[in-house]
Chain A
Amino acid sequence: SSELTQDPDVSVALGQTVTIICRGDSLRTYYANWYQQKPGQAPIVVLYGTTNRPSGIPDRFSGSSSGNTAALTISGAQAEDEADYYCHSRDSSGNRWVFGGGTKLAVL
């Protein structure tokens, strides 16, 4: 399968912890990247290779995976974390890319 599935909407209280899930058969083989996109802006990568944070990304962002599931966790969510989050990985062939449908995170 070449699909990655995400819950469309997730909410978290300010300062609390939230986990955004991505499911797909290809995640059993390939790593996940995660992107944050705010309205009117280009996406930025917040995690790559499932668990790695690029420089400049706060350490409240962390990642994990198990079986066909990858997860992005934000520990102590801030107002500025309100955004759309997309998982990203290879498809089953390993030659093509695929994005999850995206999760809109609301920080309450």
Chain B
Amino acid sequence: EVQLEESGGGLVKPGGSLRLSCAASQFSFSTYHMSWVRQAPGKGLEWVSSISGSGDYSHDSDSVKGRFTISRDNAKNSVYLQMNSLRAEDTAVYSCAREEVVCTNGICYSYFDPWGQGTLVTVSS
């Protein structure tokens, strides 16, 4: 069974840093793009960052650009999110997700599957 397990969450003061990890298993990790998605308490899903299978390129949402960095280590089947200059509004459950690709009738579609259960990041003084 494909599995994703996040770790590294916790309580951090505003302006502080935290590094999240996502360990993947039971699939060919390096062939998949991976993403981080967050969900603030009682709120909706917010895409944070994505990284290509090789790690050559990545994209970030405007809300975290310049503060968060996504990276991966394919030898360790892991993707990371380095979070700097944290703000109260970054408080959320952070989940990693695999970008599945399915091709139908010559057209390929990407979607997030599966998702990990997430790790809670709380930014508070």
Task: Give the interface of A toward B (CB within 8 A).
Answer: 31, 33, 35, 37, 42-45, 48-49, 52, 54, 84, 86, 88, 95-102
Contact = CB atoms under 8 A, between A and B. Distances in A.
B118 A42 contact: yes
Contact of A99 (B46, B104, B115): B46
Secondary structure type dominating chain A contacts: strand
A99 B47 contact: yes
A49 B112 contact: no
A98 B35 CA distance: 12
B106 interface: no
Secondary structure type dominating chain B contacts: strand
A42 B39 CA distance: 11
A101 B104 CA distance: 28
14 contacts: A35-B45, A42-B95, A42-B114, A43-B115, A48-B102, A48-B109, A49-B111, A52-B102, A52-B109, A54-B113, A88-B45, A96-B47, A98-B47, A99-B44
Contact of A96 (B45, B50, B104, B112): B50
Interface in B35-69: 35, 37, 44-47, 50, 59-61
Contact of B113 (A37, A44, A86, A95): A44
A86 B45 CA distance: 8
Contacts of B113: 44-45, 54
A27 to B, nearest CB: 14
A102 B117 CA distance: 19
A88 B112 contact: yes
B125 to A, nearest CB: 28
